[in-house]
Amino acid sequence: MPYEVQGVVARGKGEAVTLETVVVPDPGPGEAVVNVQACGVCHTDLHYREGGINDDFPFLLGHEAAGVVEAVGEGVTEVEPGDYVILNWRAVCGQCRACLRGRPWYCFSTHNAAQKMTLADGTALSPALGIGAFLEKTLVAAGQCTKVNPAAKPAVAGLLGCGVMAGLGAAINTGGVTRGDTVAVIGCGGVGNAAIAGARLAGARTIVAVDVDDRKLDWARGFGATHTVNSRDTDAVEAIRDLTGGFGADVVIEAVGRPETYKQAFYARDLAGTVVLVGVPTPEMQLELPLLDVFGRGGALKSSWYGDCLPSRDFPMLIDLYLQGRLDLDGFVTETIGLDQVEEAFGKMHRGEVLRSVVVL
Ligand SMILES: NC(=O)c1ccc[n+]([C@@H]2O[C@H](COP(=O)([O-])OP(=O)(O)OC[C@H]3O[C@@H](n4cnc5c(N)ncnc54)[C@H](O)[C@@H]3O)[C@@H](O)[C@H]2O)c1
Ligand SMILES: [Zn+2]
Ligand SMILES: [Zn+2]
């Protein structure tokens, strides 16, 4: 029997999201239905609503979630009903050219549920990042469920499902931050602050946080920033150079997703340094840089999708570090809200009042 549950849907570009009845099919082969217990509001949900990702409306939003497996379909062996899981958007295929080369965190053919969730009238929904978890129960590919220690409560664990993992991984996996490095992070929302936490965990000696909002910079200090720069009234590039012996940082992480902040990241890194773009740009954005500077400054310009994480490797490990008190995940949860408050949460995110609003079910 399909389930009928309440979920948050974006029906059209820029339109306020609405709470709708969603029909969730029983899990088919390779699929699982999960009772969602918590789901964070990520900037990417807002990008979907604004039409910044694609035009496949209506979207079923929410993708940063934890919950308990309710039912599994035929042939599913990796999880069973009752398992406590974080949902991931990188269920690796094991067969694409990235997986076969031993680099499954780049998997080019990740799994999602084969069946569609629909509105009551049968209209197929496009689940955000192949998840759709502002929803009491959601349908995913079984590989999208990663088991973790249930001692970590859902509002916190779910954050690893997207933004916090993206930030931590941008520093640790993509940027390769290691003991003694100097790091700068531009944009200190949930993703940027997670990059700061990741840089601290990896042993960076200087961590410069840059944002245009002092509230974000206060949070950044709590996550491990050694210096903060409000780039509304200070030149970010000069400030980062000043704080790193005049040279620039070894690794600069861009967590805004705009050409002007990317340029700051590009020029605020030391020679042979690394830039990591984890912020997501929109289709009309263009970047212009002197090619000679790209060549002459050397180093690496990288993008980080999902922090180059491998959920099966990274989620249980990060939850263990959290439970040992070595990684502050609670600090990201600014407020917990109901399913009917997602639109309000977008407003708070836009005004910079929260790191994460987390829907708790
Ligand atoms: N690559 C990935 O896998 C991945 C995953 C999740 C989110 N993201 C993206 O990361 C970005 C950040 O997400 P978030 O949830 O932290 O969003 P957020 O809105 O909470 O944070 C953005 C931050 O950037 C700051 N900012 C805006 N303009 C700035 C400027 N000119 N200079 C400095 N700071 C500026 C804001 O004040 C805010 O603190 C988004 O683009 C989001 O889509 C990427
Ligand atoms: Zn693959
Ligand atoms: Zn996200």
pLDDT on residue 1: 86
Task: Report the b/e string of 254-272 with b at 16+ CB within 10 A.
Answer: bbbbbeebbbbbbbbbbee
pLDDT on residue 192: 98
Q: For residue 265, which of 245, 248, 247, 286 has the smallest C-alpha distance?
A: 248
53 lines ligand 1 (CB under 6 A): no
Q: Separation of 303 CA from ligand 1 center, angstroms?
A: 14
Distance (Å, whole) CA 46 – CA 87 = 19
Q: Ligand 1, atom 7: nearest CA belongs to which residue? A: 163
Q: For residue 273, which of 182, 163, 187 has the smallest C-alpha distance?
A: 182
Distance (Å, whole) CA 64 – CA 155 = 9
| Ion ligand 3 residue ranges (Cβ < 5 Å) | 42, 44, 162-163
**pLDDT grade for 171, boundaries at 50, 70 and 90:** very high
pLDDT tens, residue by residue, 233-247: 999 999 999 999 999
CB 46 within 8 A of CB 142: no
Residue 288 has pLDDT above 90, yes or no: yes
For range 63-68, the mean pLDDT = 98
Distance (Å, whole) CA 216 – CA 355 = 8
Q: Separation of 42 CA from ligand 1 center, angstroms?
A: 9
CB 111 within 8 A of CB 145: no
Distance (Å, whole) CA 9 – CA 118 = 11
pLDDT on residue 300: 98
For range 81-95, the mean pLDDT = 97
Helices of type H across the chain: 43-49, 97-100, 154-157, 163-169, 190-202, 214-223, 236-242, 259-267, 291-296, 311-323, 342-350
Residue 331 has pLDDT above 90, yes or no: yes
pLDDT on residue 155: 97
Report the percent of the chain where pLDDT is more than 90. 99
279 lines ligand 1 (CB under 6 A): yes
